[in-house]
Structure 1
């Protein structure tokens, strides 16, 4: 078995490693560190998130720089503020015995003048996000003309975020003879392109197989109706009372909405997305690491800086736009040798995406059933029983036992057990006793039944500029129209979705109501246009157009009525309130906040 001593690291770094409690190097460290220490070379290293890549490039860079010099010798580019700060913190810990080491983090959302002052003091290593780095180079606040080592960390994610031009501009100010080390979880075509452009005969290190998911993570999917996505999320949380999870949504709007609704329903949840200030994001992450938050609802970009080893589940509330992004999501769990579960909530139309992901990660998804209400009650009941069994007795209660015995005198052991457990069990039972089955059969004929509806002379066919590129399948669009217009289940029919537009029908009597409802509506920050189609088959578009203007998912920015998912009927849980709080407001007057809060629940 390899040791850190055998990798060629100096004594000062071995001491830092011992202080951190590391005993043996990970596979990527074992393969990468000796190569980078022994030679001046370019390198492409492919390894999953959570495998110790920061140490793999951090220790060689620290050992090679001249700490006596104030010249910037190393540059590390990372995609997000959180990851930038995380890398900086880790490098400082690795180099704690290097007298005079100065590692500076450069990122947006903080004072650029303060960062410039830190650079002027002499920063041997700069860790930066591409946007802020390009800005400071343009202002001549940073000189990287003498760097010897450049790291592109999470290269695939930086390219997915559109940083290619920024990276190109930044590296044009660096010397050609430097060593460039590219670290990535996946190897899409874009990463290959950047490797060819900026690197010369790079050595390649691959841990596992390219783009393959980690073996410590199991993958499950749950198939539900489009309108049951949120109720399914709640059931998955209730079925795992000790859950400590990251819930992924595609957009900032959906992230905020899901977090707010979870808070209203009594869960310890918070949102993490790009509209939050750096201070708000820091507070959210601090609360999450302290487990004051059990469900962190995040966008893919914001979650890049999450480095918490004890996450039990990753829940994909929505699948990502890019299949490769799933690898990054699932890599948030199953870290540091621990097991994790990646769950995906999908509709019937998304099953093809599961098959595509399976090919990318070379792992098989297991189809699971969303638990029934009574199954959840049983899980919560036995969770409470185990908590009682494992609870240490506080003997301060001894003085009160005589009076307690008087109150409970006359009850048998069996009656007392029933009463104790009924205190919590009844809450879940009352909520779930009439709960419906959320699972959808893959062979369901629901779509065929919907499509078989005949056009009526008394119906109006509408054109709308939303489609599959907006991640809207026919049932999603139907739910959207019903939500905005407040029409009944059978009032919207024959919905056909194309790539960039769609059609749907309503009774003629609802024509004006539909057109009026879609005035001042935006979807994903884009104006929604609606027209009456002259041809019922949808080939020609014309007629009266709905207006446009500022709004959210409805005229007043709301995503639907409060309690739509059953949150108001859910039992609220007592207990201590978390230290980190927030306030949930309606979407039209809500400030940009972390959205944390809700009462701390005592789970069964």
Structure 2
């Protein structure tokens, strides 16, 4: 079926489709719409983000409900506020000629009283986030006991966000004989469980293969040292002057930090994450849709509502914790028949994840090097030249031509061109002149660093008893010190203390940060250890004479570690003795910190 008319849609919907400029239905629409119009059946549709799933369930629901009734007949659950509002707005556009249609969005962050009033006026279709919907049901502000159609949109993402219990509770208030339509980009076990529990003999529609990425998107990865991740991001942006992108970070903190740094460096960027108010999120998305923001830095959850067709690039500043989430990320680009690029910035320790993602999306990544400074300068110069060449001439300046010509009458053509382009080009040239090469090879050390031995090992007085394993401690140190993930390595967690390494270049930053640093009301103490990989006596003895006297000659209250000004409690010292190697005179290598000998 090549047209919407052939799918069986009525005149009101066809008129709205023509107004929207839709010409041909997408594959998921061709497969889903006729089935949903002809039969009262449950349906499971697996299709990538950006393939037109909203229209695939929206058109059949609009055609089948009774517009003249004020009873709620359709319920659509979606994972985020942004997606909830997006679906609501699209349904209103699809139903613009359906006189009497009332579609209401129910989501957190807005007045629950106002939403209840809108429902009470008669909402044939409710689009809701699970949390707010459950709240309104418990307050008896909404009645879904007579709905005929329920839709679980982005079902995999809702379950990833922990909404399983909310969904099951909400659906328990709906009639058994309703039709349930489940739409998802991936099909993990949890989604299959929902389908089995709440659906009867569903028809399954798959566009492409399960979990497979769309063919409109190419996939690239760039290997860098962890500490160069932000520099790599800037180079990728500069190497693509017309970039209109979404940049994904794992945490809200990283999202805000990266966006702020981009703005400070002169890029048109903005942040989108869960700590923003609804008004702030609306303003950011409005700016992005109007292309006032060229680079939108977002968390995975917040980005679920981004529905912009012209996104050229998705940049994975950090890979997601769940590999399946990559499918959702890459689906932000290559929409509405356009092509797009999904870029991943990785350290060596993350390369194995690329292979795992390739198996899931059934697409191969192309390894590319971060562009050099001179390559970026060339791209920017030619981009500027093309803009000038394609610029439409404004005759408003005709009256000033005589003055301009007089100014340049002694300047030949080549020199004039050089002067003109130097105005913009010099800025890039000066920035990238002599810039280091960020490219890294996959051979050598797997941590993304040249472990030349010029590194520092530290003792820290937190361990397993404080709830840390090696990964949690590494993430904790990375976040509070604002380091790259691979700037902290060789993490070794004991019961009540731990050890970690950094390169020596950031030793002062680490030690100065932990001067009088408290976490959860407790002093966190960091000291340099003497782990040389050899005998204990191989390093300097910190209890020998300093400035003509022994350290032990200091008053008791002044006995501190070499670097830290924090004092440990007796319990901390006692815990360290019990967990540390017992004999100080042992010939075996030791990770014990440099401390004065107590007599």
TM-score surpassing 0.5?
A: yes
**Residues of 2 paired with 1:471 and 1:296: CA distance?**
29
Per the TM alignment, residue 481 of structure 1 is displaced from its structure 2 partner at its CA by 8.4
Q: Is the 8 A contact 2:349 2:447 kept in 1?
A: no
Cα displacement (A) at 1:411? 1.1
For the 8 Å contact 2:48–2:331, the answer to whether it is kept is yes
Partner of 1:520: 518
Output one character per residue of 1:364-411: Cα deviation in whole Å (capped at 9) or x when no partner: 000111011111000000001101110111112121111111111211
Q: Distance in 2 between matches of 1:9 and 1:499?
A: 66
How many residue pairs match? The answer is: 529
Report the structure number with the largest CA radius of gyration: 2
Can you give the 5+ residue segments of structure 2 that lack an aligned partner in the other structure? 534-560, 569-599
How far does the alpha carbon of each residue in 1:325-376 deviate from its partner, in whole angstroms, 9 at most, with x for none? 1100000000000000000001010001100100010000001110111110
1:353 matched to 2:349? The reply is: no
Aligned to 2:5: 5
CA distance in 1, matches of 2:122, 2:407: 72
The residue correspondences of 1:4-403 to structure 2 (distance < 5 A) are: 4-403=4-403
| Structure 2 CA distance for aligned equivalents of residues 400 and 311 of structure 1 | 39
**Over residues 549-590 of structure 1, what are the superposed CA-to-partner deviations in whole Å (9 max), with x where a residue is unaligned?**
xxxxxxxxxxxxxxxxxxxxxxxxxxxxxxxxxxxxxxxxxx
Q: Distance in 2 between the 1:493 and 1:276 partners?
A: 30
Change (3 A) 1:47 1:502: farther
- Inter-partner Cα distance in structure 2 for 1:517 and 1:189: 48
Q: Does residue 507 of structure 2 align to residue 503 of structure 1?
A: no
For residues 527 and 250 of structure 1, do their structure 2 counterparts lie closer, same or farther at Cα, with a shift above 3 Å needed?
A: farther
The superposition leaves residues 71-114 of structure 1 with CA deviations (integer Å, 9 ceiling, x where unpaired) of 11100000011110110111111111111111100001110000
Q: Per the alignment, in what secondary structure is the counterpart of residue 159 of structure 1?
A: helix
Q: In structure 2, what is the Cα distance between the partners aligned to 1:529 and 1:450?
A: 29
Taking the aligned partners of 2:472 and 2:80, their CA distance within structure 1 comes to 25
The SS at the match of 2:132 is helix
Alignment-derived partner of residue 536 in structure 2: none
Contact 1:463 1:504 (8 Å CA) reproduced:
no
In 1: Cα distance, 2:73 partner to 2:436 partner = 62
State the TM-score, normalized to the length of structure 2. Answer: 0.82
Give the drift of 1:20: 1.1
Distance in structure 2 (CA, Å) of the matches to 1:47 and 1:104: 26
Please show how residues 545-564 of structure 1 align to structure 2 within 5 Å. none
Alpha-carbon offset, residue 496 of structure 1: 2.9
Task: Name the CA distance, whole Å, in 2 between partners of 1:19 and 1:85.
Answer: 21
Partner SS state of residue 19, structure 2 = helix
Structure 1: 5+ residue stretches without partners? 549-604
Quote the Cα distance in structure 2 between the aligned partners of 1:384 and 1:40: 57
Distance change >3 Å, CA 3–CA 243, structure 1 → 2: same
Name the TM-score, length of structure 1 as normaliser: 0.81
SS of 2:357 mapped into structure 1: helix
Give the conservation status (yes or no) of the 8 Å contact 1:464–1:503.
no
Q: 2:293 and 2:171 mapped to 1: Cα distance?
A: 40
The offset of 1:124, in angstroms, is: 0.6
Q: What is the alpha-carbon distance in structure 1 between the residues aligned to residue 455 and residue 50 of structure 2?
A: 55
SS, match of residue 518 in structure 2: coil
* 1:442 to 1:530, Cα distance in 2 relative to 1, 3 A: farther
Mapped partners of 1:504, 1:104: distance in 2: 53
Q: Which moved more, 1:94-103 or 1:202-211?
A: 94-103
1:571: which partner in 2?
none
SS across alignment from 2:122: coil
CA distance in 1, matches of 2:448, 2:194: 46
Kept in 2: contact 1:469–1:499 (CA 8 A): no
Q: Is the 8 A contact 2:458 2:499 kept in 1?
A: no
**Structure 1 position 520, deviation (Å):** 2.6
Question: Shift of the alpha carbon at 1:445?
Answer: 3.8
Q: Which residue of structure 1 lines up, in the alignment, with residue 436 of structure 2?
A: 436
Q: Is the 8 A contact 1:467 1:502 kept in 2?
A: no
Q: Which moved more, 1:529-538 or 1:295-304?
A: 529-538
Q: What is the SS of the residue equivalent to 2:341?
A: strand
CA distance 1:343–1:471, change in 2 (3 Å): farther
State the 1:231 CA deviation: 0.5
Aligned-residue CA RMSD in angstroms?
3.2
Distance of 2:302 and 2:222 partners within structure 1: 25
1:469-519 deviation line (CA, Å, top 9, x unaligned): 44948xx96x778768xxxx9xx9973367999622599x98994794372
Following superposition, the deviation at residue 444 of structure 1 comes to: 2.9
- Higher mean C-alpha displacement, 16-25 vs 511-520: 511-520
Partner Cα distance (1:537, 1:41) in 2? 69
Question: Does structure 2 retain, via aligned residues, the 8 Å contact 1:468–1:499?
Answer: no
**What is the rounded CA distance, in whole Å, between the counterparts of 2:426 and 2:21 in structure 1?**
45
- Contact kept? 2:225, 2:347, Cα under 8 Å: yes
1:533–1:203: structure 2 CA closer, same or farther, 3 Å change rule? Answer: farther
- 1:405–1:100 Cα change, 3 Å: same
More RCO (CA 8 Å, sep 6+)? 1
Deviates more, 1:390-399 or 1:82-91: 390-399
Quote the Cα distance in structure 2 between the aligned partners of 1:169 and 1:338.
39
